[in-house]
């Protein structure tokens, strides 16, 4: 049987308590890292010259124009996602303004000099609001790429201006595989351009069978 002096026991107890405290500190540290885990903020992009002049309609279906029976030309696209803050919390009641070119690459904006045709059944803009879980959703058509100067073709994209209670973000959503993505200076100005690029997916049964679906989550700082 080993015989320990009081000093030995004290030393052993101190060492044991130190180990316990160190383990506690480590787990506290892990917990604090976990609670501080941050989502990457969605990169900002330029507003661009074609922000709508008129009041944006509160209409989550951009594929038709009120008062007209026709349907917008092009690939029907369901765009959905959530607006979150960097802690992953939903931003409820955020306002999303969206605007885009039509399926020929033309905006319904008086300053767009692209000779591509207008689509009488497509205005290409709307204002939306997130629900309690931060979700938004709208139906539109896939925009086309368009020329923007002598040596630049902008890849297909949809513009967003998102306003929460504390933050406003202006950005653009792009499509994976667009042949003009690699040379676009605006998309490539983003440190993490994959955060702005969505993937076209086939629809689930709740959507029109010939439509496509993309998911674009938007992360504000505070929300």
Is 154 known to be catalytic? Answer: yes
Enter the DSSP assignment of 21: H
Q: CA–CA separation, 163 vs 172, rounded Å? A: 14
> Which one of 82, 106, 109, 159 is the catalytic residue?
159
Of 107, 109, 136, 174, catalytic? 107
Nearer CB in complex with Fe ion: 19/46: 46
147 binds Fe ion per the rule CB under 5 A? no
Nearer to Fe ion, 48 or 203 (CB): 48
CA of 74: how far to CAs of 80, 104, 121, 126, 141, in Å? 18, 8, 11, 18, 6
Contacts of 87 (CB under 8 A, 6+ apart): 37, 38, 39
Phi-psi region of 6 (alpha: psi -120 to 50; beta: other; left: phi over 0): alpha
How many CA atoms lie within 13 Å of 205's alpha carbon, on the beta-carbon side?
Answer: 0
Q: Shortest gap between Cβ of 98 and Fe ion (angstroms)?
A: 11
Tell me how far apart the alpha carbons of residues 59 and 77 are, in angstroms, rounded to a whole number: 15
Q: Among 192, 194, 190, 164, which residue's Cα sits nearest to residue 85?
A: 164
Pick the closer one to Fe ion by CB: 66 or 149. Answer: 149
Which range touches Fe ion (CB under 5 A), out of 43-51, 162-170, 173-181, 215-223? Answer: 43-51
Residues 187-198 as b/e (b if ≥16 CB within 10 A, e otherwise) read beebeebebbbb
Q: Please, what is the minimum distance in Å from the beta carbon of residue 48 to Fe ion?
A: 5
The residues in 184-223 that bind Fe ion, with binding defined as CB under 5 A, are none
CB of 135 to Fe ion, least distance (A): 25
- 181: how many CB neighbours lie within 10 A of its CB? 19
Q: Which of 43, 44, 48, 203 touches Fe ion (CB under 5 A)?
A: 48
Q: Is the CB of 85 or the CB of 140 nearer to Fe ion?
A: 140
Minimum Å distance from CB 208 to Fe ion? 25
Active site residue 107: yes
Q: Measured at CB, which residue is nearest to Fe ion? A: 48
Determine the size of the site formed for Fe ion (CB under 5 A): 1
Nearer to Fe ion, 65 or 156 (CB): 156
Question: Which residues of this chain interact with Fe ion, rule CB under 5 A?
Answer: 48
Q: Which residues are catalytic?
A: 107, 146, 154, 157, 159
């Amino acid at each position: 049987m080993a015989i320990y002096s009081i000093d030995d026991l004290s030393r052993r107890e101190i060492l044991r308590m130190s180990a316990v405290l160190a383990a506690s500190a480590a787990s506290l540290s892990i917990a604090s890292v976990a609670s501080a885990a941050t989502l990457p903020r969605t990169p900002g992009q330029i507003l661009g010259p074609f922000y709508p002049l008129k009041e944006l309609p509160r209409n989550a279906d951009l594929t038709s124009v009120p008062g007209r029976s026709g349907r917008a030309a092009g690939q029907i696209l369901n765009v959905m996602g959530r607006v979150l803050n960097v802690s992953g919390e939903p931003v409820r009641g955020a306002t999303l303004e969206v605007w885009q070119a039509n399926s020929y690459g033309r905006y319904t904006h008086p300053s767009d000099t692209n000779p591509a045709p207008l689509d009488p059944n497509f205005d290409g803009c709307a204002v939306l609001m997130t629900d309690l879980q931060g979700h938004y959703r709208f139906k539109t058509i896939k925009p086309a790429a368009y020329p923007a100067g002598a040596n630049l073709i902008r890849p297909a994209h949809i513009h967003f201006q998102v306003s929460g209670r504390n933050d406003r973000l202006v950005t653009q959503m792009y499509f994976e595989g667009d042949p003009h993505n690699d040379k676009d200076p605006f998309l490539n100005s983003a440190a993490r351009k994959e955060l702005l690029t969505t993937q076209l997916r086939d629809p689930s049964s709740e959507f029109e069978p010939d439509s496509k679906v993309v998911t674009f989550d938007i992360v504000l700082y505070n929300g």
